[in-house]
């Protein structure tokens, strides 16, 4: 069974993306976290408990408190190790070249994905 983690503060995205993922992969597991602070705690806790990492993490760049880049930087070593076993996709509705360049500089990040996710993207990346 495929497992996904969505970290995004946008209420609409937190409805649309899980519905799209469920439609594409019926029966999959999707954890939704709308706060970067809660995501930080969740990831560190999952790592400490030695829980399996998800197939993918969809991480919004523009989050309050800690943006997506800051969240990755703040993770403890355990959380970084846990995330290194999954694909991290940075999500954004903006097309800021600086963000795209920054994504390329962080080895944990698999790639940048523009919002919204699409069925085609999901099928191509998670066969």
Q: What is the pLDDT of residues 59-117, one digit of tens each?
A: 999 999 999 999 999 998 889 999 999 999 999 987 788 888 889 999 999 999 999 99
Task: Reply yes or no on domain 3-125 having CATH 1.20.1090.10.
Answer: no
- Closest by CA to 18, choosing from 56, 48, 46, 73, is 56
How confident is the model at residue 100, as a pLDDT?
86
CA 112/CA 24 separation, integer angstroms: 20
Mean of pLDDT values over 5-29: 97
CB-CB contact of 32 with 14 (8 Å): yes
Domain assignments of the chain as residue spans, ordered by start: 3-125
What whole-number percentage of the chain has pLDDT above 90?
A: 86
Structure tokens at 20: 């799209």
CB-CB contact of 53 with 83 (8 Å): yes
Token pair 């649309």 in the structure block, residue: 16
Over the chain, what is the mean pLDDT? 94
Mean of pLDDT values over 23-41: 97
How confident is the model at residue 70, as a pLDDT?
94
pLDDT band at 31 (very low <50, low <70, confident <90, very high): very high
- Closest by CA to 108, choosing from 85, 78, 76, is 85
CA 123/CA 80 separation, integer angstroms: 26
């Amino acid at each position: 069974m495929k497992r996904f983690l969505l970290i995004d503060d946008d209420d609409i995205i937190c409805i649309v993306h899980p519905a799209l993922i469920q439609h594409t992969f019926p029966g999959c597991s999707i954890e939704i976290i709308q706060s970067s602070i809660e995501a930080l705690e969740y990831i560190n806790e999952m790592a400490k408990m030695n829980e399996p990492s998800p197939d993918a993490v969809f991480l919004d760049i523009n989050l309050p408190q800690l943006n997506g880049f800051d969240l990755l930087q703040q993770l403890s070593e355990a959380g970084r190790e846990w995330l290194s076993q999954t694909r991290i996709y940075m999500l954004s509705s903006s097309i800021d070249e600086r963000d795209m360049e920054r994504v390329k500089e962080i080895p944990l990040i698999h790639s940048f994905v523009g919002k919204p996710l699409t069925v085609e993207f999901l099928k191509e990346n998670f066969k």
